[in-house]
């Protein structure tokens, strides 16, 4: 692909990028980021964080700024939400992944976030991309729901070109004619990314499917296809979730999924070499 001077493998970049987030090595070990869609309260966030930590998650997710389809839906708790995430991190030791939606918020939100998330709706918000490119925090760049691989990697290039080398890609499903699932999870993009780019790529089967009943299978499939990790929405009490209730995973199901991922992971070295290619 042309003009991907930094995002693609080239003469200078022969090695896969490994990004350290408070000791969690994204791109080296299989990483699971879990937590609620949105931070709703201290109790909900801390309870959920404790449960996902106990199940073996590596990072906590939770939105304090929610880009919603309707302006009348819950928009997130903002600063209060970030302070709750800070408490949950203190409580569990889990690094925090949270979304930033406005270029003006990047510098102060990055004081609370260990990883800054750029959501699907903002993938091509070039002002935001340049801003997150200036800070010293890794960026989780979700694929735009209408975006091609080339467009997505060019957005990663914006962040890298602005000076931030730590970009994690996240496939979260694209819009197709299919309406049975919320989006169509494009797992074929994972090996495609790995052929072109050295950046780590994780998969979000929660937004990718919108259907709790199939998230476990798509999570296992993500690992099998060579993804570097997962982002999964977990809620301590899904029936009460304010946001994305239909895809919120209860902690017991998450614990069972983590066990299955562990079993699959133990066979992965036999199937793939360290470079992501099948043996």
Is 92 or 120 the residue whose CB approaches ligand PEP more closely?
A: 120
Nearest of 249, 156, 248, 242 to residue 196 by alpha carbon? 156
* Binding-residue pattern over the window 154 to 173 for ligand PEP, x denoting contact by CB under 6 A: ------------------x-
The backbone torsions φ and ψ at residue 251, rounded to the nearest 5 degrees and listed phi first, read -55, -40
Among Mn ion, ligand PEP, none, residue 198 binds (CB under 5-8 Å by kind): none
Residue from 7, 19, 21, 37 in contact with Mn ion (CB under 5 A): 37
Residue from 7, 8, 32, 37 in contact with ligand PEP (CB under 6 A): 37
Is 6 or 85 the residue whose CB approaches ligand PEP more closely?
A: 85
Q: Angle between the 251-271 and 42-55 helix axes, to the nearest 10 degrees? A: 40
Q: Is the dihedral of CA 91, 95, 96, 102 positive or negative?
A: positive
Chain residue whose CB lies nearest Mn ion = 37
Quick check: 36 binds ligand PEP (CB under 6 A)? Answer: no
Is 101 or 154 the residue whose CB approaches ligand PEP more closely?
A: 101
* Binding-residue pattern over the window 176 to 215 for ligand PEP, x denoting contact by CB under 6 A: -------------------------------x--------
Number of residues that bind Mn ion (CB under 5 A): 2
Question: How far, CA to CA in Å, does 118 sit from each of 2, 12, 137?
Answer: 24, 27, 12
The tokens describing 31, both together, are 């990483």
Q: Is 142 helix (H, G, I), strand (E, B) or coil?
A: strand
Task: Mark out the alpha helices in the chain (DSSP H runs).
Answer: 42-55, 79-92, 106-109, 126-132, 149-161, 189-196, 205-209, 212-224, 251-271
Whether the Cβ atoms of residue 128 and residue 162 lie closer than 8 Å to each other: no
Among Mn ion, ligand PEP, none, residue 142 binds (CB under 5-8 Å by kind): ligand PEP
Chain residues 236-275 in contact with ligand PEP, contact rule CB under 6 A: none
Q: How far is the CB of 234 from ligand PEP (least distance, A)?
A: 12
Is 63 or 226 the residue whose CB approaches ligand PEP more closely?
A: 63
Quick check: 244 binds Mn ion (CB under 5 A)? Answer: yes
Quick check: 120 binds ligand PEP (CB under 6 A)? Answer: yes
Kindly tell me the burial class for residue 254, based on how many C-beta atoms sit within 10 Å of its own C-beta (0-12, 13-18, 19 or more).
buried
Rounded-to-integer distance, Cα 166 and Cα 138, Å: 5
Contact positions toward Mn ion, by CB under 5 A?
Answer: 37, 244
Contact positions toward ligand PEP, by CB under 6 A?
Answer: 37, 63, 99, 119-120, 142, 172, 207
């Amino acid at each position: 692909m042309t003009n991907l001077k930094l995002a693609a493998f080239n003469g200078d970049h022969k090695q896969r990028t490994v990004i350290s987030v408070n000791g969690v090595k994204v791109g080296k070990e299989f990483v699971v980021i879990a937590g609620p869609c949105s931070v709703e309260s201290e109790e909900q966030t801390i309870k959920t964080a404790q449960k996902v930590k106990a199940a073996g998650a590596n990072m906590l997710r939770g939105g304090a700024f929610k880009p919603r389809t309707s302006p009348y839906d819950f928009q997130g708790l903002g600063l209060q939400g970030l302070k709750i995430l800070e408490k949950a991190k203190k409580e569990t030791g889990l690094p925090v992944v949270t979304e930033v939606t406005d270029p003006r918020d990047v510098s102060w939100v990055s004081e609370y976030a260990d990883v800054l998330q750029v959501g699907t709706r903002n993938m091509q918000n070039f002002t935001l991309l340049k801003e997150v490119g200036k800070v010293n925090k890794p960026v989780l760049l979700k694929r735009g729901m209408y975006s091609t691989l080339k467009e997505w990697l060019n957005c990663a290039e914006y962040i890298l070109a602005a000076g931030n080398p730590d970009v994690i890609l996240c496939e979260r499903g694209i819009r197709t004619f299919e309406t049975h699932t919320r989006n169509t999870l494009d797992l074929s993009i994972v090996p495609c990314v790995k052929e072109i780019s050295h950046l780590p790529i994780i998969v979000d089967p929660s937004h990718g499917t919108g259907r709790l009943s199939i998230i476990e299978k798509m999570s296992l499939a993500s690992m099998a296809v060579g993804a570097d990790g997962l982002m999964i929405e977990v809620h301590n009490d899904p029936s009460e979730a304010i946001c994305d209730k239909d895809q919120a995973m209860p902690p017991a199901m998450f614990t069972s999924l983590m066990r299955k991922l562990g079993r699959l992971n133990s066979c992965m070295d036999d199937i793939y070499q360290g470079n992501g290619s099948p043996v």
